[in-house]
């Protein structure tokens, strides 16, 4: 493709308008208008912006990108566009070995700690049931989420695309589904989490770790009918909530089996 430049004769020397060919892969297309999904398209830009800025102006958050190829060569977010390039943009890779190319994050996405936004409280609860360290508060501000994620190396889960555009965000995933059960399945499949399940290891209410409780210490906190059928209990180190292998436990087992089948 020939490089195209539209020189302005304006005495104010307006920035040169250039264009490049872009192609986005897999779920990155969900951020794009239907007319340009899963195919090459021409995009115009002014001057020599970074490839990161151009990609985000198209609508794709940088935090979901793990590889950018410009004319077949891997580049980082700082690459300055000149016009005339062919740009291929790929999402985070989980099963494909791309160790020989220029990945765009210093740490792997495999650090399994989450922080979720205010719209995903039920998802947070389900992730905790599976044993994942998941922070949630219904009054989190976006800036607070970003700061905590950066300081504690947590993956941000959000329904808010705008949150993902911050340059401070490095590990994040935009949740596509609205239903909490489907959201959990989406996260587990996308991040390949099935080998990391640790049920009954974390409190679903406050996210603290559980420990096996001494029977004599907790027997006065439970109704007699529960004590009659169960003799193994766990207690939350944070809120002191008690857990045992009742119907709730069977629900978790069924949930795990269903997720693994998918």
pLDDT tens for 52-82 read 999 999 999 998 898 999 999 999 999 999 9
CATH code assigned at 84: 3.10.20.30
Number of compact structural domains in the chain? 2
CB 37 within 8 A of CB 59: no
Residue in this structure with the two tokens 């009054």, named with its chain if needed: 139
Closest CA to 206 of 96, 107, 98, 128: 128
Query: pLDDT digits over 187-223, tens only?
Result: 998 888 888 899 889 999 999 999 999 888 888 888 8
How many other CB atoms are found less than 10 A from the CB of residue 67? 19
Query: Is the residue at 57 inside a domain?
Result: yes
Query: Is the residue at 178 inside a domain?
Result: yes
Query: Is the residue at 247 inside a domain?
Result: no
220 by Cβ neighbours in 10 Å (0-12 / 13-18 / 19+) ranks as: exposed
Query: Is the residue at 36 inside a domain?
Result: yes
Range of the domain at 161: 113-196
Whether residues 21 and 83 share a domain: the answer is yes
In this prediction, residue 102 carries a pLDDT of: 62
Whether residues 87 and 128 share a domain: the answer is no
Place 95 in a pLDDT band, splitting at 50, 70 and 90: very low
Does residue 67 sit in helix, strand or coil? Answer: strand
- The residue that leads in pLDDT, 1 or 217, is 217
Whether residues 119 and 191 share a domain: the answer is yes
Whether residues 123 and 184 share a domain: the answer is yes
Query: Is the residue at 49 inside a domain?
Result: yes
Buried b (16+ CB within 10 A) or exposed e, 151-190: eeebbbbbbbeebbebeebbbbbbbeeeebeebbbbbbeb
Last residue in a domain, options 165, 196, 227: 196
Whether residues 24 and 81 share a domain: the answer is yes
Last residue in a domain, options 172, 196, 220: 196
Query: Is the residue at 143 inside a domain?
Result: yes
Question: Sheet holding 41-46: strands in order across?
Answer: 41-46, 17-24, 86-91, 65-70, 73-75
Query: pLDDT digits over 23-48, tens only?
Result: 999 889 999 999 999 999 999 999 99
Whether residues 82 and 131 share a domain: the answer is no
In this prediction, residue 111 carries a pLDDT of: 57
* Phi/psi of residue 204, nearest 5 degrees: -75, -15
Query: Is the residue at 56 inside a domain?
Result: yes
Last residue in a domain, options 177, 196, 215: 196
């Amino acid at each position: 493709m020939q490089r195209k430049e539209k020189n302005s004769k304006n005495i104010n020397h307006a920035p040169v308008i250039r264009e490049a060919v872009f192609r986005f892969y897999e779920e990155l297309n969900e951020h794009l208008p239907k007319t340009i999904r899963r195919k090459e398209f021409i995009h115009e830009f002014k001057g020599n912006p970074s490839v990161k800025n151009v990609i985000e102006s198209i609508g794709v958050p940088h935090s979901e990108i793990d590889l950018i190829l410009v004319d077949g060569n891997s580049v980082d977010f700082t690459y300055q566009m000149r016009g005339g390039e062919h740009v291929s943009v790929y999402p985070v890779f989980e099963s494909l070995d791309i160790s020989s190319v220029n990945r765009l994050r210093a740490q792997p996405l495999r650090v399994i700690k989450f922080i979720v936004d205010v719209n995903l409280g039920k998802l947070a609860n389900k992730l905790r049931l599976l044993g994942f360290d998941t922070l949630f508060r219904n009054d989190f501000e976006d800036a607070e989420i970003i700061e905590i994620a950066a300081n504690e190396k947590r993956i941000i889960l959000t329904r808010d695309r705008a949150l993902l555009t911050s340059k401070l965000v490095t590990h994040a995933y935009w949740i596509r589904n609205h239903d909490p059960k489907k959201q959990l399945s989406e996260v587990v499949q996308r991040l390949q989490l099935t080998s990391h399940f640790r049920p009954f290891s974390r409190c679903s209410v406050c996210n603290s770790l559980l420990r096996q409780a001494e029977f004599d210490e907790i027997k006065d906190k439970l109704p007699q009918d529960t004590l009659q059928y169960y003799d193994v209990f766990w207690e939350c180190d944070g809120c002191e909530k008690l857990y045992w292998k009742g119907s709730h436990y069977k629900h978790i087992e069924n949930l795990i089996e269903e997720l693994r089948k998918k």
